[in-house]
Amino acid sequence: MSDGALQTPASRDGNAAIRVAAGIRDAIEHGDLAPGSRLRQEEIAERFGASRVPVREALKALEAEGLVTLVANAGAWVSRLTLSECEEVYQTRERLEPLLLRYSAPRLTPSDLDQLEGLATEMTVHDDVGEFLRLDRAFHMLSYSRADTLMLGDLVERLWNATQPYRRAYTMLADADTRRIMHDEHHLIVVALRDGDVEGAERTVASHIRRTRRLLARHPEVFSPG
């Protein structure tokens, strides 16, 4: 684990396990810890000034989120998908996220829709991959945020976590035309939601996810061990 992979918070106040989990999560989301990276408890404990107990709790929490894989008596790694596994996750997302949007759409407020439009516009002016991914996630999670579901919302969030490194790879692989279509789809989702066209918004979300899956399938090298 490189010195820059995990940033040590300036303060040790608060719950140590939450603090450690947040640091690891941030490193994964920003691409500092690649899929398959080994997470050594002693290194994490030293970096965060924490004991082994909160480190273990943090890793278990991240496993529940789908970001970390724990193997009994072996250790912990940043979760990694094979190409076929990634296709399965994306096909699941293609079907579940339109349904989650259907639950959420009628409850989205005018303020929510204004925020979605602002996020869609802001994404078009960012060249930084990390910032784009942050805005993109904020956009989609906001669009789903009004859904009152028993398990669907949590499941979708876990699927997003599992594909986080591959969303980054897709963004870096996308050419100018693909990026333009991506931005257009964000705006189309907002327009459909404003018009009360939930089915149109669902179709656009499904197409949005499908495009990512198809591009990643053309780049199997993304799934090779680093």
Domain with 36 in it: what CATH number?
Answer: 1.10.10.10
1 inside domain:
no
8 inside domain:
no
**Could you tell me if 115 and 52 lie in one domain?**
no
**Could you tell me if 108 and 163 lie in one domain?**
yes
**Could you tell me if 207 and 98 lie in one domain?**
yes
Q: What is the pLDDT of residue 126?
A: 81
**Could you tell me if 189 and 120 lie in one domain?**
yes
73 inside domain:
yes
Q: Tens place of pLDDT for every residue, the chain, 226 residues?
A: 444 455 544 344 448 899 999 999 988 888 888 899 999 999 999 888 888 899 999 999 999 888 999 998 899 999 999 999 999 999 999 999 999 999 999 999 999 999 999 999 999 998 888 899 999 999 999 999 999 999 999 999 999 988 988 998 999 999 999 999 999 999 999 999 999 999 999 999 999 999 999 999 999 999 987 5
11 inside domain:
no
**Could you tell me if 118 and 215 lie in one domain?**
yes
Tokens of 139: 């956009």
**How many Å separate Cα 115 from the centre of its chain?**
19
Provide the edge-to-edge strand list for the sheet that holds 68-71: 38-39, 75-78, 68-71
Q: What is the pLDDT of residue 10?
A: 38
**Could you tell me if 139 and 190 lie in one domain?**
yes
For 72, list phi and psi in degrees, rounded to 5: -55, 130
Domain boundary among 37, 62, 78: 78
Closest among 169, 140, 163, 174 to 88, alpha carbons compared: 163
**Could you tell me if 177 and 204 lie in one domain?**
yes
d(CA 119, CA 32): 25
217 inside domain:
yes
Q: What is the pLDDT of residue 11?
A: 41
198 inside domain:
yes
Q: What is the pLDDT of residue 5?
A: 54
Coarse DSSP helix, strand, coil percentages of the chain, rounded to the nearest 5 percent:
70, 5, 25
**Could you tell me if 52 and 98 lie in one domain?**
no
**Could you tell me if 119 and 146 lie in one domain?**
yes
Tokens of 118: 């602002």
**Could you tell me if 108 and 162 lie in one domain?**
yes
Q: What is the pLDDT of residue 70?
A: 94
If one counts the domains in the chain, the total is 2
The domain in which residue 112 lies consists of: 83-223
Q: What is the pLDDT of residue 127?
A: 82
9 inside domain:
no
Q: What is the pLDDT of residue 13?
A: 40
**Could you tell me if 55 and 105 lie in one domain?**
no
